[in-house]
Amino acid sequence: MFSWTQEMVDFMQAAADRTEYYPKLAQLLAEKLSDASHICDAGCGIGSLSLELAKYFDRVTAADRSPEAMAALRSSIEKRKVGNIDCLTADLTAFAPEEKFDAMVFCFFGRTEQILTIAKKQCRGRFAIIKKNYSFHRFSLEKHRLSDETADDCQTILEERGIPFSREDRVFECGQPFESIGQAMRFFELYDRGDAGLRTEDAVRRQLVLTDDPEFPYYLPKKKEIGMFILNTEDLP
């Protein structure tokens, strides 16, 4: 199981607070799943998307199997005084809700076949699958091919199984702010999957731009390309 550290939480929280990725993604999902009242954010991590979805839906169940991630989300809920998010620490592959969710969001969650199985058991309406629409790791100094399932892979599976869907591709700015060059170096130590010998301070500096934010004067600009699929559980075999 993936294990969150406080350092990872802090990096992701800083990015979530200073980019428009999660607000824009939540708005798009709200438009696509507008008939839902209770939505589940499956594999929510520290809940950055859940917090934004809570602005559009009556009730959000934020589900993740990581206690560390759930602790970070509870802290954010308390800080923001959000009252319509339920935190669920559970492995969704083995979870059975008392009542099916109106809608579900699977954002960078698992494999397509796994998602379809969970959605059929736990959702009674439409659900969204969001996949990476890129093939190389975003935070490596050299090109490093991902082994993750892409949006095109997902589409191929859905078409082979004859499952109706709509697809929409989007590109959002979703980079990483830093308090210092030292913090940027540490970030690349954690997330760069390439040759450590290429991870010099000069190489990292070349990736960054200066900002007007005195707290986070350095920024790593990165685009996040996604493919969003909207499906209906009624169409699942």
Q: Any alpha helices (H) in the chain, and if so which ranges?
A: 6-18, 21-32, 48-53, 67-80, 112-122, 151-160, 181-191, 201-205
Residues 109 and 105: their CA atoms lie apart, in Å, by 9
The residue type at 209: V
Residue 56 CB partners (closer than 8 Å, separation 6+): 26, 27, 29, 30
Q: Which of 94, 82, 80 is nearest to 1 (CA)?
A: 94
Task: Report, as ranges of residue numbers, the positions in the chain whose pLDDT lies below 50.
Answer: none
Note the pLDDT of residue 2.
Answer: 66
**Tokens, residue 103:** 């809608």
Strand order in the sheet with 85-89: 85-89, 59-64, 38-42, 103-107, 126-132, 223-232, 166-173
Residue 71 CB partners (closer than 8 Å, separation 6+): none
Note the pLDDT of residue 1.
Answer: 54
Query: Quick check: 138 and 148 in contact, CB under 8 A?
Result: no
Q: Which of 75, 46, 41, 71 is nearest to 59 (CA)?
A: 41
Note the pLDDT of residue 195.
Answer: 86
Residues 180 and 213: their CA atoms lie apart, in Å, by 12
Is the alpha carbon torsion for 121, 123, 126, 130 positive or negative?
A: negative
Note the pLDDT of residue 137.
Answer: 87
